[in-house]
Amino acid sequence: MAELRPTILLVEDEPEIRRFLRTSLGSEGFRVVESATGRRGSIDAATHKPDVAIVDLGLPDMDGIAVISNIRSWSPMPIIVLSARVLERGKIEAFEAGADDYVTKPFGIGELVARIRVALRHAVRLRNGERVLLLDDASIDLEKRRVLRGGAEIRLTPIEFRLVAVLARHAGRVVTHRQLLREVWGPTHENDTHYLRIYVKQLRDKLESDPANPRHFVTELGVGYRLELAE
C-alpha cells in the first residue's frame, strides 16, 4: 500500500545533524530520506520524489545552490534551505534559484517542523492551480483581474496588479527584490527597491485587514517579500 507519511529528502553532509533530524523528524511522523552529498541529493530527489526537500547550503562536493537549481529545473517541490551563514548573500541566491524557505543554524526543531508543515500546505494548493487567491479579508481573481473585499470591488492600479500577480505566482515563497522589480518594472529598475516599499504599502492598505500588521504581504528582511494566502 502507499506510504502515508510525507517523505522528506534531507541533503546534509554533517552526520550529527543528519542523525538529529532523522530521529526528530521521524518522531514527528515524517519519513526521512538522507543524502550526504549534493550529487546524491539531486539523484535522490528524482528517484524518491519527496514531498519536501531540505538542502544544506554548506555542502562539500557541490554547492547547495546548484542542487536547488537542479531540482527546480524539473520539479515544483518545496525546497527548504538550511544554512549556518546568517546574513549571507547565499540566502538571496538560494531564493533566486527557487528555494521556498530558509532556516539558519542553529535552529530549533520546532521551527523547522513548522516550516515543513507550511511548505506541505502550499504544495497541496499549488497542485489544484487555483486562479482565485483567498486572503482573510479579500479575494483576488487573477483571470478576471478583479479584487473583492467584503463584497465590494477594490480597484488596483496596473502596477499594483502586476505586483500581486507575481507574488501570487510564487505564493508562500519568498520573491526577492530583484525578481519582483524585474518582473514588474523591467530589468532597468532592478535596483529601485524603493518602488517596492511604496507599492507593497499600497497593497497592504487595500488588502490587509490590519495594514500595520500585515499577515499576507510579509516582508523578508534584506531579501524580498512573500505572499501568504489564507488557510
Choose the one of its own copies, DNA, none that binds residue 172, judging by a C-beta under 5 to 8 angstroms depending on kind: its own copies
Task: Please choose, out of 41-49, 54-62, 137-145, 186-194, the segment that lies near DNA by the rule CB under 7 A.
Answer: 186-194
Looking at residue 219, the DSSP 8-state letter turns out to be: E
- Residue among 18 and 173 whose Cβ is closer to its own copies: 173
- Residue among 50 and 224 whose Cβ is closer to DNA: 224
Is position 5 an interface residue for DNA (rule: CB under 7 A)? no
| Whole-angstrom distance, CA of residue 29 vs CA of residue 178 | 37
Is position 209 an interface residue for DNA (rule: CB under 7 A)? no
Q: C-alpha cell of 50?
A: 519527496
Q: Per-residue string for binding with DNA, 126-155, x by CB under 7 A?
A: -----------------------------x
- Residue among 17 and 142 whose Cβ is closer to its own copies: 142
On the question of a cis peptide bond just before residue 76, with omega within 30 degrees of 0, the verdict is no
User: For residue 56, what are the β-bridge partners?
Assistant: 82
Task: Please choose, out of 37-45, 52-60, 137-145, 202-210, the segment that lies near its own copies by the rule CB under 8 A.
Answer: 137-145
Is position 231 an interface residue for its own copies (rule: CB under 8 A)? no
- The minimum distance between CB 222 and DNA, in angstroms, equals 5
DSSP track, 173-215: SEEEHHHHHHHHH-GGGTT-HHHHHHHHHHHHHHH-SSTTS-S
Per-residue exposure over 167-176, b if at least 16 CB sit within 10 Å of its own CB, e if not: bbebbbbbbb
